Amino acid sequence: MKSHAFDNYTPPPRDPDSDEAEELYEHFALTVDKGQSLMRIDRYLATHMEACSRSRIQAAADCGNILVDGKPVKSSYKVKPLERISIVMPYPKRDTTLVPQDIPIEIVHEDEHLLLVNKRAGMVVHPGHGNWDGTLVNALAYHLQGTELFKEGSGDIRAGLVHRIDKNTSGLLVVAKTEYAHAFLAHQFFEHTITRRYLALVWGNFEEDEGTVVAHVGRSKSDPMNMAAYPNGDYGKHAVTHYKVLRRYGYVTLIECRLETGRTHQIRVHMQHIGHPLFNDERYGGDRILKGTTFSKYKQFVENCFELMPRHALHARCLGFVHPATKQEVYFDSELPADFRAVLDKWDSYTSANTLEE
């Protein structure tokens, strides 16, 4: 009997603004039948899992992602009756028409195992309903055509991704170029050992200089296209965001967010939950004046900021992880894009010229 852990995977609704920090791997388990004869675990899993090749299973085993009764095993391990197998793997290949497109992308690092992309705001990460081309994956399929995960005719829209950032968030994404690197990175995301730091401009001031938000994140029960925070843990998935104040502007604050987990819209939902929606975040209420005066001059100032940065103020600044080949920790940083810098400059000028009162 085949496990349907992969076969039943259904992507979330393909709203192009619904992928914030979403991780593209899964963890599942199965128990060996009591009548099972000895068999190599890679062969066993290949015959018991839908849409999963033996090479992908072997790559997962090489990375320590396959456990038998809690202990990592190699692909040559022979399964025995009633053993409990657990595995972490990137989401399976999804066949579709993937058109390589010569779209300019900013690559901040590339080697034979992976690459880092500094994604511009406004670019959807991978194809889906309403966005079948012009995406980052279309650009990667062109840039990496012929490599292991981007072979001609593969139609694989998972394409080396182990995480995503949403359409209107700028910043860093890591992309695997081999099955081994794909599985190796997925394991780190699952273990929460990836370093991910974001810069966010949010409404309001903070009493404290740093803090932590712990609240489950799940689809909103009233609007399934949005996410919501569930602090009682009765719905959604466990989510933790650590934040630190970098600059106070009185009515808005620049903070750094460190993700401990990666849930859809996690930072945006958590900041809304504690009363500090992201600046100009139309989905979670940040696209209107939430703090400040009633003076028309101030209102015009904020509207000018919205025009300068017609998106939510969130940038994936830093990624750190253990490299799949060298096994050394590596860190990558990206500068704030021009629109984000311009808005901060305006707030700098405004706070210098005005005395702000809460």
Q: What pLDDT is stored for residue 146 in this prediction?
A: 80
Q: Say how far residue 323 (Cα) sits from the centre of its chain.
A: 18
Q: What is the pLDDT of residues 55-101, one digit of tens each?
A: 878 888 888 888 899 888 998 999 999 999 988 776 655 555 678 89
Strand partners of residue 218: 228
Q: Please pick, among 42, 166, 281, 339, the residue that the annotation labels catalytic.
A: 166
Q: Helices 296-308 & 338-353, crossing angle to 10 degrees?
A: 160
DSSP letter assigned to residue 338: H
Q: What pLDDT is stored for residue 342 in this prediction?
A: 98
- The Cβ of residue 259 has, within 10 Å, a number of other Cβ atoms equal to 23
Q: Could you tell me the fold of the domain covering 27-88?
A: 3.10.290
Residues of the chain with CATH 3.30.2350.10: 106-190, 195-353
DSSP letter assigned to residue 7: T
Whether 9 shows a pLDDT value over 50: the answer reads no
Q: What is the pLDDT of residues 13-31, one digit of tens each?
A: 444 344 444 556 667 788 9
The band of 348, judged by pLDDT with boundaries at 50, 70 and 90, is very high
> What is the average per-residue pLDDT within 334-345?
97
Whether 306 shows a pLDDT value over 90: the answer reads yes
Q: What distance in Å separates the CA atoms of residue 216 and residue 202, rounded to the nearest whole number?
A: 20
Q: What pLDDT is stored for residue 242 in this prediction?
A: 97
b (16+ CB within 10 A) / e for 16-31: bbbbbbbbbbbeeebe
Stated pTM of the model: 0.82
Q: What pLDDT is stored for residue 88 in this prediction?
A: 79
Q: What distance in Å separates the CA atoms of residue 185 and residue 114, rounded to the nearest whole number?
A: 10
> What is the average per-residue pLDDT within 255-282?
96
The band of 4, judged by pLDDT with boundaries at 50, 70 and 90, is very low
Q: What is the mean pLDDT of the chain?
A: 86
Whole-angstrom CA distances from 103 to 58, 71, 132 are 33, 44, 14
Nearest by Cα to 27 from 94, 90, 92, 87: 87
Q: Comparing 191 with 231, which gets the higher pLDDT?
A: 231
333 is catalytic: no
Q: CATH classification of 106-190, choosing from 3.30.750.24, 3.40.50.720, 1.10.1740.10, 3.30.2350.10?
A: 3.30.2350.10
Mean pLDDT lowest for which of 16-20, 108-112, 230-234, 349-353? Answer: 16-20
Residues of the chain with CATH 3.10.290.10: 27-88
CATH class held by domain 195-353: alpha beta
Hey, what are 43's tokens? 């062969």
The band of 10, judged by pLDDT with boundaries at 50, 70 and 90, is very low
